[in-house]
Structure 1
């Protein structure tokens, strides 16, 4: 009796660092490059599909905990366990800016036209001026490490989230906390602003995706609890659908008008969910 074909097939396996790989980010413009950071203090750049690195960037003196590209995939920001952040110019393959201000591990970064956004184990969120090394503002209020940060589409607000389920909205103009969104009972694993409306989507280990109205600062919708925690979420560019990634599949939801209605399910292991997002819904991420 012949065996059924394996459900999961390893597509690629290669050593990325001399030690633990702590972070990885795929460039969303081309979806053809990725950057990794590890315990060996290095930031490595890869062409997807190749087994040898395109660049190895050095400059940190402690393990690298977070990495991100700018929109054009010309600059990489990397945060370290010491609390320092470095910007690498990929054409020159060297550090162009070094910033210090966090007291502990830099767990998340976003690099955009509005500046550099960072969140740390020290519970602080910082916004940095890309024209220099100065901190434009520091937001304090989280009780545990900040794991996710995001600029709003207009650059006026910042959303941050932490392992205790707290989501906070900050006003960059007034330099203050606007609201707390305490709706998740588990660690927040992702957040994403709606492309055109004052809405924020969040997901969590509590197995749900929630949609928040940022005019009233209240929850307007939530998906039914899944069997496992939700690992990531994103709005479709048309704003009418939400994608959520689970341990073993991808869900497609329409949320307007509430309640959320599931339209499709793609059954796949987590690494294939990541590949699907990379190639087919990269504009949302």
Structure 2
């Protein structure tokens, strides 16, 4: 997200509320919380902040497990590897740091090479390579870089954009997608970093991209059973089975959201031309996100609304209205039945996809909500924002 860099116990009234109370009001960070992310198995939580630290949280005691220091500037983004073995963070200073989440220690020195701030991080899917070793970072410096955490260096630099790269995804077919301020989305192969395809159509910055397979790429081999795997090979096999089942016979779909107020639905493996142009927002589209089952796409806009679209056809389905400020981020429940939104208005809202109505209002933050995440196991929601507080919401 690009526009909002920031220069206990409460019971809900309704007995049938999804989240009856929130259990964590953690004042560990000293500055705004800019990113939150659950691990792929849903058992761990990480947060990055303007106080230049990354924190790992104990979800049982609701206290900081580790405070990870080493960055020189705001921690803007964090990403877990889909096997859960690594956590990478990127900062406003342009450096990346890989952490051992079991020890809360850095895995070597910072990874340097980017000349401006890190905007996004995405890991190579575990069904393509286990254990996880490679990830891609995007930067305002117009480049994306592929890093190998075992070699501790950049192995490929993806160059060609004419504006800062705002978002990046490592797809399940092994290609990398980058969205940029130059209004394009580029598709790259990952053995030599060659440009495969360029997706054109947006009239302004591309702010966010999402894949129909995002959920299975994030969770890898982990599912609701909580199974622990004995080897990387077993994990890779199960992850591949989950990916193939999710993808089905069709191509991986991509949706992009832009400053031009619109979204595009693409099938990049099939064509460089968009499948659907999705219009209706009155201001810039800041975040787009496919549901775990790939059937829906949600979009968050600075017009204060969240819109729901058919994830296969791109057809408009519904508009969720209730926020009185810009909507910064959205996140899905694991069963794709509920959608969460976080806003400038200091609230989170839970929307029911079946009824198309507000399910629950979650007030409590003392300022803008910059970052939200729904745990992959579907049991918890985390939020962070301008007030420097990380909240964990549980049913």
- Deviation at residue 231 of structure 1 after TM alignment: 2.0
* TM-score, length-scaled by structure 1: 0.76
Give the one of 135, 145, 164 matched to 1:44: 145
> Alignment partner for residue 139 of structure 1, among 268, 274, 278?
278
Question: Which protein has greater RCO, CA pairs closer than 8 Å, 6+ apart?
Answer: 2
CA distance in structure 1 between the partners assigned to 2:194 and 2:139 by the alignment: 17
1:167 matched to 2:306? The reply is yes
CA shift at 1:52, angstroms? 4.4
Matches within 5 A, 1:112-151: 112=213, 113=247, 114-130=252-268, 131-151=270-290
Corresponding residue to 1:23 among 111, 119, 125: 119
Which residue of the other structure, out of 75, 90, 94, is the alignment partner of 2:175?
A: 75
Aligned mates of 1:185, 1:148 — CA distance in 2: 17
SS in 2 for 1:90: coil
Task: Report if aligned partners of 1:25, 1:69 keep a CA contact under 8 Å in 2.
Answer: no
Q: 2:303·2:327 contact (CA, 8 Å) conserved in 1?
A: yes
More displaced, 77-86 or 106-115? 106-115
Question: How far is 1:133 from its partner?
Answer: 1.0
Residue equivalent to 2:323:
184
What TM-score results when the alignment is normalised by the length of structure 2? 0.57
**Counterpart for residue 61 of structure 1:** 162
CA distance in structure 2 between the aligned counterparts of 1:12 and 1:175, rounded to whole angstroms: 40
- Extract unaligned runs of 5+ from structure 2: 1-29, 31-50, 54-67, 73-94, 96-111, 127-131, 214-246
- Cα 1:61/1:92, change in 2 over 3 Å: same
Aligned residues: 248
Supply the distance in 2 between the matched residues of 1:243 and 1:169 (Cα, whole angstroms).
22
Residues in 1 aligned to 2:148 and 2:344: alpha-carbon distance in whole angstroms = 31
State the superposition RMSD in angstroms: 2.7
Candidates 184, 194, 201, aligned match of 1:94: 194
